[in-house]
Amino acid sequence: MQTTGKPKTCVFNGHKRSHALKFQSIVTPNGIISNLFGPIEGRRHDAGMLRESDILAQMRVHMTTPQGRIFCIYGDPAYPVTDGYIIAPFRGGVISRNQMIFNKRMSAVRICVEWAFGKVLSLFAFLDYKKNLKLYLQPVGKYYKVAVLLTNCHTCLYGSETGIFFDVSPPTLEDYLLG
């Protein structure tokens, strides 16, 4: 029984071949998931999520110094390279040696994002049990958002693989919750 009136096909992710909700997130070098947008229907493309989240407008405000220096994030290959705020791997059949080196080095950085998602699922394993979660009968998206908040609290208290990799400490729990 559906409770939202939307057909189940709107959450079907053909790439993963399952019903799903998607989130877009930014993980900082200290291991904190600092931006979480979603849930969005599983069928939606990442570039569409990027547009809908309006994160680029937020980045223009918060990631540009008064001197005009731009800080950027490294995005998933599905994201477009835009305004210098998001960089992504070089694509195409023919890329230069320097571009290949860049892609290889940055793939090590990209894995840190996966570590953060893995930490959420390791601390809250029930979120990974597709058979136990009922998309239209439970607030699955809210479960994930709460799990991310609590995972960030855990990171503040105990650190993370990402923080170790980049040698950056997370904030104190008090600073995270009150800052």
Give the tens place of pLDDT for each residue, 38-60: 888 877 778 888 888 888 888 88
Let me know if residue 177 belongs to a domain.
no
Residue 110 contacts residue 86 (beta carbons within 8 Å): no
Type of residue found at 149:
L
Tell me, what's the pLDDT at 136? 64
Let me know if residue 1 belongs to a domain.
no
Let me know if residue 175 belongs to a domain.
no
Round the average pLDDT of the chain to a whole number and report it.
83
| Tally of structural domains, the chain | 1
The residues, any chain, with a CB within 8 Å of residue 120's CB and separated by 6 or more, are 33, 127, 144, 147, 148, 151
Burial of 47 (0-12, 13-18, 19+ CB in 10 A): middle
Strands (DSSP E) contained in the chain are 12-13, 18-19, 21-27, 33-41, 73-74, 86-87
Let me know if residue 92 belongs to a domain.
yes
**Distance (Å, whole) CA 43 – CA 12:** 5
Nearest alpha carbon to residue 114 among 21, 39, 25, 11: 25
Q: What is the domain range of residue 27?
A: 8-167
**91 band by pLDDT with thresholds 50, 70 and 90:** confident
**Distance (Å, whole) CA 55 – CA 82:** 12
Let me know if residue 172 belongs to a domain.
no
Let me know if residue 84 belongs to a domain.
yes
What is the length of the chain? Answer: 179
Let me know if residue 3 belongs to a domain.
no
Long-range contacts formed by 139-142: CB under 8 A, 24+ apart: 140/21, 140/39, 141/21, 141/38, 141/39
Q: Can you tell me whether residue 28 is helix, strand or coil?
A: coil
More confidently predicted of 169 and 136 = 169
Let me know if residue 77 belongs to a domain.
yes
**1 band by pLDDT with thresholds 50, 70 and 90:** very low
